[in-house]
Structure 1
C-alpha cells in the first residue's frame, strides 16, 4: 500500500492506496471508531492483487489523529476528494461500524459514484431505529469511558468487540497509538455528531449487510436484521465473530465481499 496525504481545510489527511491500471474495480474501506486503517489488513492481503484498494485514517484517528474533527458530511467530502485525487469515478464502499455511517453519508451525497455498499457490523442512519435510551447512551458513552483506567479501558474495549485472539491483539496494537484522552475525544465527538447529523437517507446502490453472530456492541445485530428487511437486502451472520467480524472470521467475510464485487445485483 502506498501512503499518501490530502489537504482538507488546513488539515493533513492520511490515506493508503493499492492501484493498478488494469484493475477496473475499486474498494474503499472506512474504519470503525477508535481504530485506524489497519483494521482491514486481512482484506488488503486478500484483495490487493485483484482490485484497487483505498483505506484512510479519519480525523482524530491513526496518522490523521491530530486533525480537527469536522462532521460526517465532511468525512464524506474527504472521501470524495481522495477519489478525485486518484482519478477514480466509481467505487464500492465497505464501512465498519462508525465507518459505515460515513459511507452512508457518502452514498447518499455522491450516489452516482457508488456501485455498492458493504455494511460491516454497523447500523443504519435513520432515527426510527434508535430508542430514547439508545440516544442517551450514545450521548454519554464518553462519560462512562472516563471511569476506566487507561489500560483497563483499552483491554475492555478490545475484548468487547473481538471473538478471536487475532482481532483482540489487533485492537490492542492499534490502541497503543492512542492515549486515554485520545479515545475519549474520539468517542465524544463522533457519537455526539452522529446524534446531530443522523437522518433518513436513501441508498440507491446494491447493499449487503455483514454482522458477527456474537456482536454485542449496542444493538447492531437487532438493527441489522430490521435494516436488511426494510431495504430488502441480504444480511450475512458471520460465525465465530463479534463486532470486529472482518478480523474474527476474515476468510468468510472476504468470500462474501468477493462474491458481491463480482455480481452485486445477484445478492
Structure 2
C-alpha cells in the first residue's frame, strides 16, 4: 500500500491506499490504541478485489505526535477531507471498536458520502443504549489507568482484546510503541470522546445498510450487550464471530473477511 499524509493544525495523519481501478472502496478504521496493522489481514486479502484505504487515527501509530485536543467532529471532518482528496465516493466504512464509532459519526455528518458500514466489536452511538453511570465512567477513566503498573496494563490490553496467538502478538507490537503516560492519556481522551459523541448523537439511528460483527468471546466493556440491543432496536444483522475476542478480525480473519466481502458485493453489485 502507498503511504500518504494529511496535515491538520494538531498534527499529521498518516494513511495508506491500494487502488484497484474501477473497484469500490473499503475504508478501514482501527480502534482505540490500535493502528493500521490491525487490518493487515483484511487489506492483504481484499485489496485485489477492492480498493482499500486504512489510516492511523490521530495520536495513533505513525500519526504522532498529535495534540489530544480533537473531537469526534474533528475526526469525521478530517476523514471526509482525506476521502475527498483521494476522490473516494460512497465507500464502505469498516470500523473496529472506536473505529466503528467514527464510522457512525461520519455517516451522520455526511449521510450521502458512505454507502454503508461494517462494524467489528463496536458499540452503537445511540444515547438509548447507555446508562448515565456508564457515560460518567467513560468520562472519568484517568486515574484508573494511571493507577495500574505499565507492565500489567500492557498484559491487560493484550489479554482483553484477543483470543488468538496472532491477535496477541499483534496487540503486543502495537502497545510496545507507547510509553505509559502517552497510552493513558490517549485511552482517557478516547473514552471521553466516546461519551461526548454518544451525547451529541442523541436518538439518531444509523439509517443505512450495515452489518454488525462481534466476537463470541468479546470481553471488552459491554460490547456484546450493546450489539444485541443495537441489532434488535434497529433491525440490523448481527453475526457472532466464533472463538474471537474484541479484535475479532485478527482472531478469525478468514471468517470476518468473507462477511465483509459478501456484504460489500451485495452493496455494490
TM-score tier (shorter) = over 0.9
Q: Deviations over 1:116-140 (max 9, x none)?
A: 1001101111221112332233123
Kept in 1: contact 2:161–2:219 (CA 8 A): yes
Partner of 2:21: 21
Following superposition of structure 1 onto structure 2, how do residues 230-241 of structure 1 map, counting pairs within 5 Å?
Answer: 230-241=233-244
Task: Find the aligned partners of 2:64 and 2:158 in 1 and give their Cα distance.
Answer: 19
Q: Deviations over 1:165-212 (max 9, x none)?
A: 110110000011111111111111111122223223332320110000
Task: Find the aligned partners of 1:75 and 1:104 in 2 and give their Cα distance.
Answer: 12
Task: Find the aligned partners of 1:236 and 1:104 in 2 and give their Cα distance.
Answer: 18
Following superposition of structure 1 onto structure 2, how do residues 218-237 of structure 1 map, counting pairs within 5 Å?
Answer: 218-237=221-240
TM-score by length of 2: 0.94
Following superposition of structure 1 onto structure 2, how do residues 64-75 of structure 1 map, counting pairs within 5 Å?
Answer: 64-69=63-68, 70-75=70-75
- 1:43 matched to 2:42? The reply is yes
Task: Find the aligned partners of 1:131 and 1:99 in 2 and give their Cα distance.
Answer: 22
Kept in 2: contact 1:164–1:241 (CA 8 A): yes
Residue 242 (structure 1) shift? 0.7
Partner of 1:9: 9
Would you say how many aligned residue pairs link Structure 1 and Structure 2? 265
> Secondary structure of 1:112's partner?
coil
Partner of 2:249: 246
Task: Find the aligned partners of 1:17 and 1:204 in 2 and give their Cα distance.
Answer: 28
Task: Find the aligned partners of 1:167 and 1:103 in 2 and give their Cα distance.
Answer: 23
Task: Find the aligned partners of 2:268 and 2:65 in 1 and give their Cα distance.
Answer: 40
Q: Deviations over 1:222-253 (max 9, x none)?
A: 11011011111100000010101000111110
- 1:165 matched to 2:165? The reply is yes
Task: Find the aligned partners of 1:50 and 1:21 in 2 and give their Cα distance.
Answer: 10
Partner of 1:76: 76
Distance 1:250 1:142, change over 3 A: farther
- Computed over aligned residues only, the root mean square deviation of the Cα atoms, in angstroms, reads 1.5
- 1:137 matched to 2:137? The reply is yes
Task: Find the aligned partners of 1:127 and 1:204 in 2 and give their Cα distance.
Answer: 15
Residue 21 (structure 1) shift? 1.8
Task: Find the aligned partners of 2:114 and 2:207 in 1 and give their Cα distance.
Answer: 9
Moved over 6 A (4+): none
Task: Find the aligned partners of 2:145 and 2:216 in 1 and give their Cα distance.
Answer: 25
